Amino acid sequence: MDPEQILENLDPEQTLAARSLVGPTCILAGAGTGKTRTVTHRIAYGIATGYYAANRVLALTYTNRAAGELRARLRQLGIGAVSVKTFHAAALAQLEYFWPQFAGVPAPSIIQSKSRVIAQVADEAKIRLDAGALRDFAGEIEWRKFSMLSLDEYAQVAKTRDKVAGLSYEKNLELQKAYEEAKIKAQKIDWEDVLILTLGMLRAEPRALAHVQQQYRFFTVDEYQDISPLQHALLDAWLGNHSDLCVVGDPNQTIYSFTGATSEYLRNFASRYEGATEIQLTRNYRSTQQIVNFANRLTADSDLVEPLASQGEVGLAPRTIAFATVADECAAIANAIKTKIEQGVKPSEIAVLYRVNGQSEAIENTLAQAAVDYQVRGGERFFNRPEIQAAIRAIRAEAVSPTDKDLFHAVSDICRSMGWQSQQPTEQGSAREKWESLNSLLAITEELPAGATMMDFAKEIEERQRSQHEPVKAAVTLSTIHAAKGLEWDVVFIMGLTEGYLPITYALTDSAIREEQRLLYVGLTRARRELNLSWARQELTSSREREQSRFLVKLQARG
């Protein structure tokens, strides 16, 4: 392909970014400005022009889903040899390759559940932690490790941090030490240890470091505002003396500082890398003008990036509604969703977002009573379902035996043998869920190019399974705003916008409040066509009155 054809459909700023192939490049990409499109076209253009060797490019992401999306986009551009991995996957591959060479034994295995180990050592210490406390304590361990603090160094700063899981300073340190000792005793590591051990190995073993630096020369880092000191130290080791690094991020979407992430690397990119090229993408292709202008009110004080400019139609004004109770709020959302579906909006194009997982129960119950199908992000994994595992085994078996059938009919025959039929079941429950999962598997055939074979399909499924790139279910999505980052829907409802939820109760400092405001901004910019915000004065299980979020007040005051 003519390299210039790769750039034909990019806007001027995207084209400028794609042409910036040598040296450090920073792409400040606002929500909906086509960052994935830009970086994939940049990689493809670099390979087509001969600047890059495909097998020496490493694109890094933070989630398996983002890695799967990048891979799929590159394949569409005819690029298949580029390594696209999460930081953890890239580090694990290096650890498993080099550890046996230098230690003489296989690399340690990874614990299945951090919470399980924490619960075990807590029980031994006669400390009771519920599920939420276990999750909070696991998060504190991750923060410590991503911040590159040893236990002794952490002890020096722990008193300045909020209490973790209700534990005293002393009990916190005791459990963290016991957690590390339990892992060592079991000869296992956690996912943060993968990064720590890989970094230590590369620093200690020049041969390993030289091998990695020879293997990868050109780096792209997605969501750079979310990088932690540990991940950046590893990135520096991989880069060595080279500076062929492209980073893309948006400081207005920095919402993971509680895990040790910091946007300072993005903010200071130009001073850190001499001669850096910096490009801003501000043309929003996702949302209507009304939604973009509304969201811009939360970033008016941003000192790094310009406001977004919607390239879409004017659209409907975002709606803000107050309710007497959460029950009233959920009933109104459920009714509005039913109306949208009756008007022809696909359920998969509708989402209900909230700040914490605990807010989902009320809307789940209401949607179930209204017979509206929904899926909760973070629920049962698609590829873990028994009917999907059985179908994949059958697909692999048929892939090695050529058939005269086209791909769709070959896969549909397998799905039919497991109970799928062309007509969607009318009843709710497990039968409906099984049909929907098989139907989603079948729908993947439509995403492959014409003439794709069963072997092509088997490889696609294997890649998606490895990267947890799951198909979209034909149902309304329920999700925390954190889990919704990187996703988008035509119609979005953001519920529970009260003080105590957004901002969350424990956000007490100015920086924490600013992060909560950025979190709402992320929520607002998930919507393409319609945006609805709501809050309720009274909870389901409490008579205590709540106040609307200060961010709603800010949005309305600037309206």
For residues 478 and 363, the answer to whether their CB atoms sit within 8 Å is: yes
Per-residue pLDDT tens for 47-94? 999 999 999 999 999 888 888 889 889 988 888 889 999 999 999 999
Question: Does residue 328 or residue 434 have the better pLDDT?
Answer: 328
When pLDDT is cut at 50, 70 and 90, the band that residue 205 belongs to is: very high
Per-residue pLDDT at 403 exceeds 80: no
When pLDDT is cut at 50, 70 and 90, the band that residue 470 belongs to is: low
Query: Cβ-count burial of 384 within 10 angstroms (0-12 exposed, 13-18 middle, 19+ buried)?
Result: exposed
Quick one: pLDDT at residue 432? 67
Query: Cβ-count burial of 19 within 10 angstroms (0-12 exposed, 13-18 middle, 19+ buried)?
Result: middle
Q: Which two tokens stand for residue 224?
A: 């750079």
Q: How far apart are CA 297 and CA 159, in angstroms?
A: 36
Q: Which residues are within 8 A (CB) of 496 and not within 5 positions of it... i.e. 6 or more apart?
A: 326, 329, 354, 355, 359, 502, 534, 535, 536
Residue of 286, 384, 341, 330 lying closest to 476 (CA atoms): 341
Question: Does residue 400 or residue 270 have the better pLDDT?
Answer: 270
Per-residue pLDDT at 319 exceeds 90: yes
Residue of 558, 552, 559, 480 lying closest to 522 (CA atoms): 480
Instruction: Give the residue carrying structure tokens 């969501």.
Output: 223
Per-residue pLDDT at 467 exceeds 80: no
DSSP state of 251: G
Q: Which two tokens stand for residue 120?
A: 């075990």
Query: Cβ-count burial of 78 within 10 angstroms (0-12 exposed, 13-18 middle, 19+ buried)?
Result: exposed
Q: How far apart are CA 461 and CA 413, in angstroms?
A: 17
The segment with the largest mean pLDDT, out of 19-28, 304-313, 549-558, is 19-28
Quick one: pLDDT at residue 192? 94
Quick one: pLDDT at residue 41? 96
Kindly write down the DSSP assignment for every residue of 161-225, as one continuous string: SPPSTT--HHHHHHHHHHHHHHHHHHTEE-HHHHHHHHHHHHHH-HHHHHHHHHH--EEEESSGG
When pLDDT is cut at 50, 70 and 90, the band that residue 543 belongs to is: low
Quick one: pLDDT at residue 173? 92
Per-residue pLDDT tens for 502-542? 998 888 889 899 999 999 999 999 999 999 999 999 876 66
Q: Which helix (H) or strand (E) holds 332?
A: helix 326-342
Quick one: pLDDT at residue 524? 97
For residues 18 and 42, the answer to whether their CB atoms sit within 8 Å is: yes
What does each C-alpha distance from 115 to 131, 135, 138, 139, 520 come to in angstroms?
Answer: 8, 7, 6, 10, 28
Question: Does residue 284 or residue 162 have the better pLDDT?
Answer: 284
DSSP state of 354: E
